[in-house]
């Protein structure tokens, strides 16, 4: 296993459209090791989600995991598609491993249904709410070259981490 370097905002790979993964390669040792490396990298940098373009691989792969009551189960999404957005919106503070020390409020649908392949190449159909739904949308945005700052509708909430901790931590139930 290996900790991979994170592409930071300004790196053109973060603005590219990621290619679908050929399902035939999913079972390969190289690809399985890549998934393990993505999880290790995500945990090392204390993220709860990571998309392959963030580790300089422009392919449609996302990993996620977050312990806790409103947590996220260990998830691998390969070639994901959102097939349904719920009618209600939720606002959450978001951050990103590719944008150091920044937070901002983003409004997104609070429920999504997503279809994707799992790490065994099997089709999975996930209905996600709350943090899980927001994380899926944030990570899938990376696959189409979008960052959370592109989704912000009120740029006045863009906040450096130190100021976030000083002024905004209290009000935020959850941060991704
Ligand atoms: Ni991100």
6 within some domain: no
4 within some domain: no
Phi, psi of 114 (to 5 degrees): -130, 140
Q: Give the pLDDT band of residue 173 (cuts 50, 70, 90).
A: low
- The residues near 142 (Cβ < 8 Å, ≥ 6 apart) are 14, 18, 51, 52, 53, 54, 62, 98
For the chain, give the percent of residues with pLDDT over 70: 98
CATH number for 132 = 3.90.45.10
Report the separation in Å between the CA atom of 56 and the middle of ligand 1, taken as the mean of its atom positions: 13
Q: Give the mean model confidence (pLDDT) for residues 28-46.
A: 97
What domain range includes position 24? 12-171
Among residues 116, 3, 8, the alpha carbon closest in space to that of 62 is found at: 116
Q: Give the pLDDT band of residue 174 (cuts 50, 70, 90).
A: low
Q: Give the mean model confidence (pLDDT) for residues 33-55.
A: 97
Q: Give the mean model confidence (pLDDT) for residues 5-15.
A: 98
Rounded to two decimals, the pTM is 0.96
Give the tens place of pLDDT for each residue, 64-101.
999 987 789 999 999 999 999 999 999 999 999 999 99
3 within some domain: no
Above 80 in pLDDT, residue 129? yes
The bridge status of strand 89-96 relative to strand 99-109 is antiparallel
Query: Is 27:67 a contact under the CB 8 Å cutoff?
Result: no
Token pair for 84 = 């349904």
Cα–Cα distance for residue pair 50/46, rounded to 1 Å: 10
Q: Give the mean model confidence (pLDDT) for residues 15-38.
A: 98
What residues are paired with 64 via a beta bridge? 49, 75
125 within some domain: yes
Report the separation in Å between the CA atom of 139 and the middle of ligand 1, taken as the mean of its atom positions: 6
Q: What is the DSSP string of 38-74?
A: HHHHHHHTT-SEEEGGGGT--BSEEEEEE-STT-EEE
88 within some domain: yes
Report the separation in Å between the CA atom of 143 and the middle of ligand 1, taken as the mean of its atom positions: 10
Report the separation in Å between the CA atom of 95 and the middle of ligand 1, taken as the mean of its atom positions: 7
Cα–Cα distance for residue pair 10/97, rounded to 1 Å: 13
Token pair for 91 = 């606002």
Residues with a known catalytic role = 139
Report the separation in Å between the CA atom of 131 and the middle of ligand 1, taken as the mean of its atom positions: 14
What residues are paired with 116 via a beta bridge? 124
2 within some domain: no
The one-character DSSP state at 8 is P
* Mean of the per-residue pLDDT values of the chain: 95
Decide which of 175 and 103 is more confident: 103
Domain count, the chain: 1
132 within some domain: yes
26 within some domain: yes
Report the separation in Å between the CA atom of 84 and the middle of ligand 1, taken as the mean of its atom positions: 21
């Amino acid at each position: 296993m290996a900790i991979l370097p994170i592409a930071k905002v300004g790196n053109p790979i973060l603005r590219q459209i990621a290619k679908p993964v050929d399902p035939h390669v999913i079972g390969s040792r190289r690809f399985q090791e890549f998934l393990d490396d993505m999880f290790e990298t995500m945990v090392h940098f204390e993220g709860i989600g990571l998309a392959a373009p963030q580790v300089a691989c422009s392919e449609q792969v996302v990993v996620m995991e977050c312990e806790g009551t409103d947590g996220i189960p260990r998830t691998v999404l390969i070639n994901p598609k959102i097939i349904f957005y719920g009618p209600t919106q939720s606002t959450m503070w978001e951050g990103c491993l590719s944008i150091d020390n920044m937070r901002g409020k983003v409004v997104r649908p609070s429920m999504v249904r997503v279809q994707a392949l799992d790490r065994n190449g099997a089709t999975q159909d996930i209905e996600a709410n709350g943090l899980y739904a927001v994380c899926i949308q944030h990570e899938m945005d990376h696959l189409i070259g979008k960052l959370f700052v592109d989704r912000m509708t009120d740029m006045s909430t863009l906040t450096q981490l130190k100021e976030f901790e000083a002024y905004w931590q209290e009000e935020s139930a959850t941060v991704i």
